Amino acid sequence: MINRIRDIRQEKGLTLADLAAACNPPTTAQTIGRLETGMRNLSIKWMDRIAAALDIAPELLVRSDAAVQPQIVATLADTGAEPLAKPRDAILATDLGGEMPLMVLSVETSVGEYRPGDQLWLRQMDPADYQRAINRDVLVPRKGGRFSFGRLIDRQGVMVGILPPGSGQKQQVVDDPAWLAVAEMLVRRL
């Protein structure tokens, strides 16, 4: 198992000493260096400490020896597919930035523009930002552990109006939802 501590640490502009000091409890730069190079075993406890210090999910610290990072090798334009001069790493859904939590809605049957097997990645929003999600697809919790999903078409005070994606369905009104998650990425198998 190869770890990505060094790559992520350098991406964030941190030195070994910076990361060591950010750990809770703090550790030494030498220990972080040994963990990065594999000279010291990266336990679950260490993964949790380092991930918290880097402000990332612990699973982003490791990758399989056999796993290859997906590459962007071409771009599609009006003239067709054009190769990139130098391929670059593609952003994985788990690498999306943002402070609020990500969640996934799995599509089981065709509804509106969504097909079976689709995964819709959504990001929770702060209630103060709900107005920015108007006319976007959202997932909203309802009482009793249920959800409403569809286009956010209205917000009045603490009430939100959702138009489901299926044809002929009526608007749903949710009173004071605990949170709202707006669609950020569609993952679809071909």
For residue 186, pLDDT over 60 is answered with yes
**pLDDT band at 83, cuts 50/70/90?**
confident
Structure confidence by residue, pLDDT tens digits, 27-42: 999 999 999 988 888 8
154 in a domain, yes or no?
Answer: yes
113 in a domain, yes or no?
Answer: yes
For range 79-94, the mean pLDDT:
72
* CATH code assigned at 181: 2.10.109.10
Beta carbons of 67 and 94 less than 8 angstroms apart: no
For residue 15, the model assigns a pLDDT of 94
Stated pTM of the model: 0.56
Same domain? 104 vs 166: yes
**CB-hemisphere CA count at 13 Å for 73?**
3
Number of structural domains found in the chain: 2
Structure confidence by residue, pLDDT tens digits, 1-36: 578 898 889 888 999 999 999 999 999 999 999 999
Cα separation of 155 and 174, whole Å? 10
